Amino acid sequence: MDHLKIAEVMDAYRLIPRLLLVAVYAFTAIYVYNLTSFFMELIVMQTVTDWKLTAYSGFGAITIPAVVGLATGLTKVYMQSGRKWNGQERREVG
């Protein structure tokens, strides 16, 4: 198979952007799951002081929306990119 045909197939199916989205969504799910598990264990512990719980809650309140926002932004870029098929114009997303 010719290298140009392989590149054309990869471009038509948009393999690299799809793999990037799968990686970002997997990272987001693992990150949120681990942070939630950490908070659940932290709440059960009796030795945690209020200031530590507040500090960890602040960290989670900042990083979870940032990670989810990254996934949202990449999804929007993915949906607005790509070639036009059958000469039809692309609809704007968002």
The full set of domain ranges for the chain reads: 17-80
Would you state the pLDDT for residue 33? 93
What is the average pLDDT across 11-24? 86
What is the average pLDDT across 69-88? 79
Q: Which of 1, 75, 64 has the alpha carbon at shortest distance from 38?
A: 64
The two tokens of residue 44 are: 């059960």
What global pTM score does this model have?
A: 0.70
Q: Which of 34, 35, 53 has the alpha carbon at shortest distance from 43?
A: 53
Would you state the pLDDT for residue 47? 74
Half-sphere exposure of 56 (CA within 13 A, CB side): 15
Q: Which of 68, 74, 59 has the alpha carbon at shortest distance from 28?
A: 68
What is the average pLDDT across 44-49? 76
Distance CA 68, CA 38 (A): 18
Would you state the pLDDT for residue 90? 56
Would you state the pLDDT for residue 81? 79
CB-CB contact of 31 with 67 (8 Å): yes
Give the confidence band of 84 by pLDDT, cuts at 50, 70, 90: low
Give the confidence band of 92 by pLDDT, cuts at 50, 70, 90: low
